[in-house]
Amino acid sequence: MMIAALSALPGILLVAAGTPRQAAALSSHRLHQARRRALRLDGFALLLLSLGVATTGADRARHLVAWIGTIGLEAVAVALLFTAGSRSRRT
C-alpha cells in the first residue's frame, strides 16, 4: 500500500499542475495546452499505476477502500499546498 500511496501523490500533483489555473501559478510563463494535457495524462497514468499496485494480492476490497481514502487525503494536501503557494506569491 505504501508504494501505491507514493506513486499516487506525484500523480495528483501532475493532474493539478495540468489545470490552467495551477499551471499559471507554478510557472512564470504560460504553458501550452499540449503541455498541460501531457501533465494531466502522466498524472492519470500514475494514478492508474497506484490503483493497480494497491489492488494486487489478497483482500482487494479493503485495499481499494484504503486507496480511495489515501487519494482523498493526498488531494487535500495538494490543494492546501497550491493554496499556500498562491497566497505567498500574492503578498
pLDDT of residue 5: 87
pLDDT at 20: 81
8 burial via Cβ count (<10 Å: 0-12, 13-18, 19+): buried
State the 10-residue block means of pLDDT for the chain, 91 residues long.
87 89 72 88 95 90 93 93 71 57
| Total tally of structural domains belonging to the chain | 1
pTM for this predicted structure = 0.83
66-44-53 Cα angle (round to 5) = 40
23: containing domain: 2-90
Q: Note whether 13 and 45 are within 8 A (CB).
A: no
